Amino acid sequence: MAREPTPASSTEAKGGEEVPADIRSMTFERALADLEEIVRRLESGEVSLEESIATYTRGTQLKRHCEAKLEAAREQVERIELRHGAVTAVPVATD
């Protein structure tokens, strides 16, 4: 049975926006750390308006990537819990 691609394996974020390859290859933890740094920089006011817009855009892409990774993990946990009514690990295809 063919699986539909999960958001974590998609090259597009919600709304059809292309997610850069460097973000797609990040772990959840790395993407979250980068997102936290972006929030810190934007809140500190240490970037110009133009840089703020580009930084905010990247932050949005990182947020979407993190959401997709969390959704994929949630689906994996559900598959583990629901297989034939027993707790069974089901192999999950990775990117």
- Per-residue pLDDT tens over the stretch 20-72: 999 999 999 999 999 999 999 999 998 999 999 999 999 999 999 999 999 99
Any domain includes 72: yes
Question: What residues make up the domain containing 35?
Answer: 10-85
Sequence-ordered list of residues with C-beta below 8 angstroms from that of 82, at least 6 positions apart, any chain: none
Any domain includes 91: no
Any domain includes 22: yes
- Please tell me the predicted confidence (pLDDT) of residue 82: 62
Provide the 3-class DSSP secondary structure of residue 18. Answer: strand
Any domain includes 95: no
Any domain includes 90: no
- Please tell me the predicted confidence (pLDDT) of residue 32: 97
Q: Total structural domains in the chain?
A: 1
- Whether 11 shows a pLDDT value over 50: the answer reads no
Question: pTM of the entire structure?
Answer: 0.68
Provide the 3-class DSSP secondary structure of residue 12. Answer: strand
Any domain includes 1: no
Sequence-ordered list of residues with C-beta below 8 angstroms from that of 58, at least 6 positions apart, any chain: 23, 38
Q: What angle do helix axes 28-44 and 49-82 make, rounded to 10 degrees?
A: 150
Any domain includes 70: yes
- Please tell me the predicted confidence (pLDDT) of residue 95: 54
Any domain includes 3: no
- Please tell me the predicted confidence (pLDDT) of residue 5: 40
